[in-house]
Chains A and B, each alone.
Chain A
């Protein structure tokens, strides 16, 4: 349930490494190994022109492609976790938090805000995998809670874009309970007859998938995203054999009936608008 981002090769995530790849003019696609001109890739919404592999995309970029210009205002930007367990492994949790804030430029593993999409009022939350593996603790839970409250108050739709390794083990049971908290809040949204669109991106696993990500009225995933409860490594360990190709990928989940649609990034806005128009009567004339 809790996440395993610590196990990753640290070098791949170190700030210096990141800087060089940001400065590079050419980027190699993880999937097809094609060398792509970076500016070309950005024009294509970070989707490989050759194989349609969806590269990780920053929250700001999602805001840019989904929301109406200048409509975004952030909610709960000043929320900070309190380290309820005084957790420490090789590093103190409080230190991990401040270094995550410094290296990512984000204040937590989710950014939430009010906006409009095609003039429809929406509360949008985008998770940040770069922030401690997109792990869910008190602040992510509270931001989702406030997102729901805001949506109910404004009569808005809710969209959450997930990419997360699961619950944040440095907050112990407090983090696990955020799954219940988010669930409670989403039943309130439903009670208010407001739509919740869950968009799953690569990767979404653990308690995140097993709570709000899978509770959408409509559940959409980007192509090729890893989506599951247990991580592939854990399953491999359990069953003692390699996993079939494409296992736990978006297309697999669609086939098994757990997603409404797999949507290419370039079609994401249009898809979301269609769902919102269907769900929100007030926007019939808009």
Chain B
């Protein structure tokens, strides 16, 4: 995105304001429960095409009515989403990804590469960014759009070198006293031969350890899929925020279903049992805040989603930067020490 030598303004998206990639297969993807609204909207668009001439007032009234109906329908559907439907939204192929947010939130962005040990992992993106007056380090998992891009990004499933890149840059942020902001969006750490050989477990463990004692503020934002240890590895933080339709889970619903019910198609049931939505996790005190998404989900309006995240980042930074380092770390520790439900009989 940016040249390696200069800080540049993130490239503006050429496409429409709601979605950065209308021309890919993924851009036409629609979930079952989105269909009724999408169909209504298609009808409205058609009628709009007809209603350009003069004397079409009755048609315009009709369009208004349909629009209201579509909005109402969407609200109704989204008000009673099941956990499994939220899983599908979190994985929506049209959902905004890390770099979609970077280009909308940051004034400048300088991506930095490599773990200085083995390779550059494209599943994890990291770089220096400025957001208004703030200089911050951004780290996040990056999904790809379309097959080719997804292969390049390894479906946002990081290898050890991804976590080692993150650790390297977090340590650098600490050195220059800059806050760290992470964007979580991964099905999990990659379970492959090379990943094991190069110490996937050690890389994650090290990242958890370094984040636990990092002397600068850390803000984690789950923007899509929070897949188990691979997600946790960059989300030990002073504040954890989740997008309204993102998920965060110890195991994928499919994985859980194939173990507990011996049948991966029971994933919807497993999703219910795992309590993996933002709402669930706020309730049991795992996360600090839920970021509301635009009507119909983040993919319906990238700009509005980015604006909501930006506002949260700025207010969170203001809060955390005011806390002296020692107190910051003590509060972070206290938060994690208190997580758990046990009785001492």
Contacts and interface: CB of A to CB of B under 8 A. Distances in A.
Query: Do A and B make up one complex?
Result: yes
Interface of A: 1-4, 6-7, 76, 78-85, 87-90, 137-139, 141-142, 145, 167, 169, 171-181, 183-188, 191, 206-207, 209-215, 227-230, 234-235, 238-239, 243, 247-248, 256-258
B196 A247 contact: yes
B191 A234 contact: yes
Place the interface of chain B in its size category: 35 or more
A214 B209 CA distance: 10
Contact of A169 (B233, B259, B333, B342): B259
Interface in B210-239: 211-213, 228-230, 232-233, 236
A207 B276 CA distance: 18
A169 B250 contact: yes
A78 B197 CA distance: 39
A169 B252 CA distance: 10
Interface of B: 188-193, 195-202, 204-206, 208-209, 211-213, 228-230, 232-233, 236, 248-251, 255-256, 259-262, 273-276, 281, 284, 286, 332-333, 336-337, 339-345
Contacts of A4: 259
Contact of B228 (A79, A89, A141, A207): A207
A234 B191 CA distance: 7
A264 to B, nearest CB: 23
Q: Which of B195, B250, B261, B333 has the most CB of A within 10 A?
A: B250
6 contacts: A76-B344, A138-B342, A211-B204, A235-B193, A238-B190, A239-B192
B201 to A, nearest CB: 4
Given A79-B343, A238-B191, A243-B193, A180 B249 contact: no
B341 A82 contact: yes
B261 A141 contact: no
A214 B202 contact: yes
Pairs A-B, 4 closest by C-beta atoms:
A230-B191, A138-B340, A214-B205, A2-B251
Contacts of B201: 209-210, 213-214, 227-229
A258 B197 CA distance: 9
Contacts of B233: 210
A177 B286 contact: yes
A3 B228 CA distance: 12
A228 B190 CA distance: 12
B240 to A, nearest CB: 10
A85 B274 CA distance: 7
Nearest to B191: A230
Given A7-B259, A169-B274, A184-B332, A176 B232 contact: yes
Given A78-B344, A213-B205, A248-B196, A184 B212 contact: yes
Contact of B281 (A173, A256, A258): A173
Contacts of B191: 229-230, 234-235, 238
B260 A6 contact: yes
B209 A215 contact: yes
B192 A175 contact: no
A233 to B, nearest CB: 10
A141 B342 CA distance: 10
B188 A1 contact: yes
Contacts of A227: 201
Contacts of B198: 256
Q: Which of B192, B201, B337 has the most CB of A within 10 A?
A: B201
Contacts of A1: 188, 228-230, 250-251
Contact of B196 (A167, A178, A181, A235): A235
A90 B276 CA distance: 20
B34 to A, nearest CB: 27
A83 B228 CA distance: 19
A210 B195 CA distance: 12
Nearest to B205: A214
B286 A173 contact: yes
Contact of A187 (B212, B250, B343): B212
Given A167-B229, A172-B275, A215-B208, 5 more contacts: A7-B262, A173-B286, A177-B340, A179-B208, A214-B205
A180 B253 CA distance: 22
Given A90-B261, A243-B193, A184 B250 contact: no
Nearest to A176: B250
Given A179-B208, A211-B204, A174 B340 contact: yes
A85 B275 contact: yes
A224 to B, nearest CB: 17
A172 B276 contact: yes
Contacts of B232: 176-177, 179-180, 207
A167 B250 contact: yes
A79 B229 contact: no
